[in-house]
Structure 1
Amino acid sequence: MVIPVHDVNPVRRTPWVTYALIAANVLVFLATPGMAGSVAGGSDLSQLCHLQAFLDHYAAVPRELIHHQMPQLVPTGAVQNGPGGAGCAVAPPGYDKSAPLSVFTAMFLHGSWIHLLGNMLFLMIFGNNVEDRMGHIRFTLFYVVCGYAAGYGFALLNADSGDPLIGASGAIAGVLGAYLVLYTRARVWVLVPFLFFLPLRLPAWLVLGFWFVLQAFYSAGEGVSEAGTVAYAAHVVGFLAGMLLAWPLKAGTPPPPEPRGLLFGRRARPRHTW
């Protein structure tokens, strides 16, 4: 698996929507119960109960999306002691959950710092150019549509699952698909783990094509969505949706310039030879 770090593809305008999406995802993560301090150590039972209640309220659940089967009992966030030991208390929900709206809220939820930072890295590298080509408003709509396509696509393939689906990766997969269509010839600096991290500059079609093939390969297995697992099928659907939505713009998108004298996207100092 290669890790992208920078693309050689300058933009014409400031990607305000991309920056806003990154800021919103970070802020929501910090506000998610038990997540902000998850790097320092494990969560206690109280934090886990609060997190479970939070996710049941705001995450997308395939069974709710497809069958409209809302749970009769949900975690309250409190700890309850019983004959079998302590556990999370449950009660009838004190709120009305909209299943379609939960797909949108789930796009801003993440299960760990690694989950969050990995998604934001891909959004930062590839989102700015797609936003630059589409414009701020169209890019915002595009991002949301890809997120919904990924969420409902995953739900259709796992219609009976009651596990929460969270993360921005479905929408970001759509951004990757659009980038592949619009900037096929762009170059991307990546780190390849080979004994140590080896920096290479590869074409976008190779980096993103390899990523998509990997997601499709993994999605051939049984898709799961709870914390600690990856909804690969959502990535595949989001990627394909992004490609289809971006295709009408391909003809008007010139290939990115190939600046000379760049080192990791920064202009290198001139070298003198003897």
Structure 2
Amino acid sequence: MAVSLLDRLGVRGAGPGGRAPVATLALIALCLLTVLVSPSSGFNPAYGTGPARACAEQRYEQRWGAVPAELTSGRPLDAEQLAALPKATPDCALAPTPGKLPVLSVLSSLFVHAGWLHLLGNVLFLFVFGPGLEERLGRLRFLLLYLTVGYLAAYGYALAETGRPDGLRAVVGASGAIAGVLGGYLRLYPRARVTALVPALLFLPLRLPAWLVLGLWFVLQWWSVRSGGPGVAYLVHVIGFATGYLAVRPAPARRIRWPRPPWQGEAS
């Protein structure tokens, strides 16, 4: 069923081999389950509503997200650093988490998302571009690329932000790893046609080449880094995309071996 659905949507990856993109779908499922059990889902009454839930979301993200200052220091934030953070609500209390391992927080942060819209935006890109890359690399190499790029993007961002105010804020979401998938897809399938919704044309769906869609996406992320767009770690996207593009190598072109004329001897 997954293969048939992907075929109907024009998604590469369900193609000649006929194999379902198990790794891609498993990553999407894990992201979905993580949001369901988090305060961001809105389904768990234990987290409360309104200001109480907003505070619970901030505590949850600080606990399971990747904090740049923690990644570079190797230890969780102390009470003084947490006190310097802007609070979700005036009475929101943030306590240190001594058992937190910063190096593992990168892994957990790849599945934690700040709400349903954040999740939808990420998994949509993964659903469209992940199958093609998984088919070419194989499931194990695809997962290894995904996680490696996610780690490199998180630590690259940490090095850039430590010592700044945003260095104390948790980064959550699979954006860095998925940006790596986009970069790898562009390297392997630059001329593939993908369906894109164009805002300037009232979100009219158009079939455009991947180099145009993903190239414009990268330029937009880079411009957002330069302009200092608030609330989103755009540098994570830039690092992830560039790393994924450089990490994936297209298959070498096949040399055509023409038949040797009978009167010509073997070359030495």
The verdict on a shared fold, with TM-score over 0.5 as the criterion, is: yes
TM-score (norm 1): 0.77
CA displacement at 1:123 relative to structure 2: 0.2
The alpha-carbon deviation at position 154 of structure 1 amounts to 1.1
> Is 1:132–2:135 an aligned residue pair?
yes
Q: Give the aligned partner of residue 232 of structure 1.
A: 234
| Aligned residue in 2 for 1:18 | 24
Q: Once the two structures are superposed, what CA deviation does each residue of 1:73-128 show, in whole Å capped at 9, x if it has no partner?
A: 398xxxxxxxxx961234443x4111111111100011121110011100000000
Q: 1 or 2, which has the higher helix percentage?
A: 2
Contact 1:6–1:188 (CA under 8 A) maintained in structure 2: no
Query: How far apart are 1:178 and its partner, in Å?
Result: 0.3
Alignment of 1:126-165 (within 5 A): 126-160=129-163, 161-165=167-171
* Equivalent position to 2:221, from 215, 226, 230: 215
Aligned match of 1:110:
113
CA contact (8 A) 1:181 1:250 kept: no
TM-score, normalized by length of structure 2? Answer: 0.79
Q: What is the match of residue 271 of structure 1?
A: none
Letter aligned with residue 236 of structure 2: A
- Kept in 1, the 8 Å contact 2:59–2:94? The answer is no
Give yes or no for contact 2:11–2:128 (8 Å, CA) kept in 1.
Answer: no
For 2:223 and 2:56, how far apart are their aligned partners in 1? Answer: 35
Work out which structure has the larger RCO, using CA pairs closer than 8 Å and 6 or more positions apart in sequence: 1
User: Displacement, 1:197?
Assistant: 2.2
The answer to whether residue 54 in structure 2 is matched with residue 48 in structure 1 is: yes
Provide the rounded CA distance (Å) in 2 between the counterparts of 1:71 and 1:175.
31
Conservation of the 8 A alpha-carbon contact between 1:29 and 1:36: no
Aligned counterpart, 2:125: 122
Q: Residues 56 and 197 from structure 1, CA distance in 2 versus in 1: closer, same or farther, beyond 3 angstroms?
A: closer
Larger strand fraction of residues: 1
Deviation at 1:7, TM superposition (A): 4.5
Where 1:111 maps in the other structure, the secondary structure is: coil
Between structure 1 and structure 2, the one with the greater Rg is 2
What's the counterpart of residue 103 of structure 2? 100
**Alignment partners' CA distance in 1, 2:145 and 2:72:** 23
Stretch of structure 1 that moved more, 123-132 or 212-221: 212-221
Report how many aligned residue pairs link the two structures: 231
Contact 2:75 2:101 in 1 (8 A): no
Give 1:244's aligned residue: 246
Deviates more, 1:172-181 or 1:95-104: 95-104
Distance 1:149 1:7 in 2: 31
SS at match of 2:169: coil
Q: 1:81-100 alignment to 2 at 5 Å?
A: 87-93=91-97, 95-100=98-103
Select between 52-61 and 206-215 the one with higher mean Cα deviation. Answer: 52-61
Inter-CA distance 105–194: structure 2 relative to 1 (3 Å threshold): same
